[in-house]
Amino acid sequence: MAHYSIAIVGAGPAGYFTAQALQNAQNEDRTFSIDLFERLPTMWGLVRLGVAPDHPKIKTVAKVFEKVAAEPNFRLFGNIEIGKDIDIEDLTSRYDAVVMCTGSAIGRKLGIPGEDLPGSLSAAEFVPWYNGHPDFAALNIDLSGTTAVVIGAGNVAMDCARMLAINPIELDPTDTTDHALATFHGSNIRKVYIAGRRGVEHAAFTAPELRDLPKLEHTDVYIDADQVSEAHARAAAAGEIEKHVASNLEAWRLIAEHPKSGHERSMEFRFLSAPKEIKGNDKVEEVIFGINKIENGKVVDTGETYSIPCSLVISAIGYQAAPINGVYFHNGIIENEAGRVLGTNIYTVGWAKRGPSGVIGTNKSDASDVVDLLISDLKEPKETMDIAMLIPAGHQVIDQSAWAKINAAEAAAGEPVGKPRVKEVSWAKLLSLGLN
């Protein structure tokens, strides 16, 4: 029987699903030792730091991750940054394969004037701020104005807009971080616009997200009914409407027709709106949008514009991967073919492989496909060499036991206040919790 050692870099959904696929692929011919490396002292990636706090059901996938971590062939190395604490070459020389599951953490730029004004930020900053990423805990989010604009037409944009538009009492029983909760309770934002460059039919929101919007207790949601019917006509004229598009269009129709309650808080969707410029004296004061139209299935600029006065702009137009020493990136993802980094024993799964697309579950099938590829490439196992010898002296590693202590401490802090957990956002305090 051949026994292989595999390193996985990144303890988010892609990393855990890759470990699970490797565990499931063991048989009488092969077994695996799996070492999972994570830069942060906390695990689960986007499940902890990306999923909106008011969607707790999505976070239950963490139970799967804990089951994976409980297997005897699994080891965790948290608080270890590959490319800094340990070189990628140290992994490729010691392991039979290295799987990069490092995700995409940098927000794509709008590329318009005024984007760098105070009050303009990326969802890649805003989302980890309210979710408790230690690198973003000190971010200053100014919600003193009354109007915010979110630019983007996917679920991340929806999450950002919803977090700004709902009454913060709806966040009190969630795991929204204490600093963010205090800021939301002091917020003056009452009107949130979500702007998409293309038509309603092109929006990347998922139908369940859309169907939840009319259920918001303290927020009215608006979309122009004519835009919805025009989008339906365009989609129908192009041939049979795809199932997911039809489902979304029906959800849009229900939003447009849903009775409004006159709440002071509202979300409004604006499509065929391309951001041209963010204006303001020393801070954001308005966004100028170009008005688009659809011609022959293509988005065309009409040359007309309109503006939305606001004090906050959040761009949610996609992510790209952060660079890692020793790994080649192209167009924001690791250079790969179907998950294989040619000429190496490196593979990649998740957003680092394909860009920011799909939902959390998408990473499961992605991991399974790449692990099949990895197994087909395996040759004679390398001689076992323990990576622990390369960790700098005195450097604290968050192993599975330490992560369990952090996890338990947060859950215990949440229990008396009716929350699933109270997240610790200080790197130093997280490390100290791991020692107790």
Domains identified in the chain and CATH numbers: 2-105+320-398 (3.40.50.720), 109-317 (3.50.50.60)
Model pLDDT, residue 148 = 98
The answer to whether residue 146 scores a pLDDT higher than 90 is yes
Residues 226-270: tens digit of each pLDDT = 999 999 999 888 888 889 999 999 999 999 999 999 999 999 999
Instruction: Report which of 21, 4, 11 is spatially closest to residue 366, judged by C-alpha positions.
Output: 21
Average pLDDT score over residue span 336-348 = 94
| Residue 58 scores a pLDDT above 90 | no
Give the pLDDT score at 323: 86
- The answer to whether residue 25 scores a pLDDT higher than 90 is yes
Contact 270, 289 (CB under 8 A): yes
Model confidence, pTM: 0.94
> What's the confidence (pLDDT) of residue 392?
86
Contacts of residue 354, defined as CB under 8 A and 6 or more positions apart, other chains included, come to 333, 366
Q: Can you give the pLDDT at residue 61? A: 92
- State the pLDDT at residue 63: 95
Q: Which residues contact 34 (CB under 8 A, 6 or more apart)?
A: 6, 8, 19, 22, 23, 73, 74, 75
Q: What's the whole-number average pLDDT of the chain? A: 94
Residue 436, pLDDT > 80, answer no
Q: Write down the pLDDT at residue 313.
A: 98
Number of neighbours of residue 147 by Cβ within 10 angstroms: 18
